[in-house]
Amino acid sequence: MSRGYNFAAGPAAVPEAVLRQAQAELLDWGQARASVMEISHRGKLFAELAAESECDLRSLLDIPGNYKVLFLQGGATQHFAQIPMNFARRDRIADYVVTGHWGEKAVREAWTLADVRIAANSDASRHTAIPARDTWTLHADAAYVHYTPNETIHGVEFQHVPDVGNVPLVADMSSDILSRPLDVRKFGLIYAGAQKNIGASGLVVMIVREDLLERCPKDLPKIFNYAEHAANDSMLNTPNTFGWYLASLVFKWLLGEGGLVAIGERNRAKAEHLYAGIDGSGGFYRNPVEPASRSWMNVPFTLFDEELNALFLKESEAAGLLALKGHKAVGGMRASLYNAVTLEAVHALADFMRDFAKRYG
C-alpha cells in the first residue's frame, strides 16, 4: 500500500525524508557497524550525535548560552508533575493559564505539589478563545506562570507570547515547537513531547534558563531533578537513544528546509488554505474557534449533519486522508498540520472536503 496523507494529532507525521534515512541506517549507522539503538549512549559516536543535535537545535531557535538544553525521557504529562516538584513545591504559588484539555491536565497534576492558582480559564467559552491578557490574575511572587501555547484538542493557539513580567514563563510547547520562529529569551522554561514536531514519542526536549536550575531542591531524588540531568548532559540514566537520533535527523531536515522562517511561512499557508475551505463551505463545515485564536497546528471542524461523520471518515480514509477523526471531548473532525504535513496534503484534504460537500450538501 502507498503511504497516505497523515493528519494524526500525535504520535504524528514524521518527514518522509527522515523516515527514509532512518530506514537506510537502521542496521548500520555511521561508523558504528551496528544500529544506533545498539551502541552505548556514553560512547564517542553517540556523544557526537548528542552534541551535534543540541547545536542544531540551538541554531534553529537561536537559544542563548544561559539556557540548558535537555533531552529527557517520558512525555509532557510526566513533566506536568515534575515541573512543580522542581520549581514550586507546596510552599510556592504557581499560576496556571488554562485554555483547553492539556492546560487542565497540567493543573490536575500540579495541584498536590504546589499552591496552584488559576490565573485565567477559557472554559466559559468552551475553550474556543484565548482570555484577554488584562483579565488574568497573576501573582508577582509566583514561582512561575504556566501556559499551553497550542491546545491540540480544542484547536486554540496563542498568536503571541504573553507578558508576565519578571515571573518565569513556563510553556508546554509539545504541539507547536519548531513550527515558526520563537524568542526563547521570553521564557524561563520550554518543554515539548517529541511526537508531534520533533520525532518519536518517549522523548521530551526541554530548554531551561540556568538560574532556574538553582531552585531544584537538593532532597529531590536525582532522577526527578532537572539540575542533575543538566549536570550530566542528559545522560544521568540511559536516554531514549533512538528518539534522540530521530530528533537529530528532524533538526537537520528543518535546517535543510530553510529553518523556522521558511517552515513558519509554509505552516501559515497550510492553515490559511484549510480554514478558507471551511469558512467558504456555506455552513457545511464549521470551525468553532474565534478566528484570532485559531491554531496553525490543529484544525477541528464539524459537519452540518453529524449523521455524515462516519461516511466522511470512511471516504476520506479511502482517499488516503488519514486520522481525521476528532477527539472524543469535542467530536467532529480534526486535521493536524504539523511540520511534516505537506502543503500538497492540505490541498488534497481541502479538495476532498469541497467535493464531499458538493455531493452531500
284: domain CATH number? 3.90.1150.10
Rounded to two decimals, the pTM is 0.97
Single out the residue of 158, 138, 54 nearest to residue 95, CA to CA.
Answer: 138
75 pLDDT band, cuts 50/70/90, is very high
Phi and psi torsions of 128, nearest 5°: -115, 5
Q: Three cell numbers at 41?
A: 549512549
Domain encompassing residue 91: 17-256
pLDDT tens column, 114-133: 999 999 999 999 999 999 99
- CB distance 289 to 330 below 8 Å: no
Same domain, 188 and 274: no
Examine the residue annotation and report whether 102 is marked as an active-site residue of this protein: yes
Q: Which residue shows C-alpha cell 490574575?
A: 137
Q: Is the pLDDT of residue 72 over 70?
A: yes
* 16-25 and 241-256 helices, crossing angle to 10°: 130
Mention every residue, 6+ apart, whose C-beta is less than 8 A from residue 9.
Answer: 152, 153, 175, 196, 298, 323, 327, 334, 336
Mean pLDDT of 25-54: 97
Q: Three cell numbers at 203?
A: 522523548
Examine the residue annotation and report whether 253 is marked as an active-site residue of this protein: no
Same domain, 235 and 296: no
pLDDT tens column, 242-294: 999 999 999 999 999 999 999 999 999 999 999 999 999 999 999 999 999 99
Asked whether residue 85 is assigned to any structural domain, the reply reads yes
Q: Which of these is catalytic: 172, 253, 270, 325?
A: 172
Element (H, E) at 151: strand 150-151
Same domain, 313 and 352: yes
The neighbouring-strand residues paired with 302 are 286
* 343-360 and 309-318 helices, crossing angle to 10°: 130
Q: Is the pLDDT of residue 1 over 80?
A: no
Single out the residue of 212, 184, 187, 207 nearest to residue 70, CA to CA.
Answer: 207
Could you give the CA distance from residue 1 to residue 139 in angstroms, rounded to a whole number? 55
211 pLDDT band, cuts 50/70/90, is very high
Q: Which of these is catalytic: 29, 102, 253, 296?
A: 102
Domain count, the chain: 2
Examine the residue annotation and report whether 172 is marked as an active-site residue of this protein: yes
Q: Which of these is catalytic: 68, 196, 270, 325?
A: 196
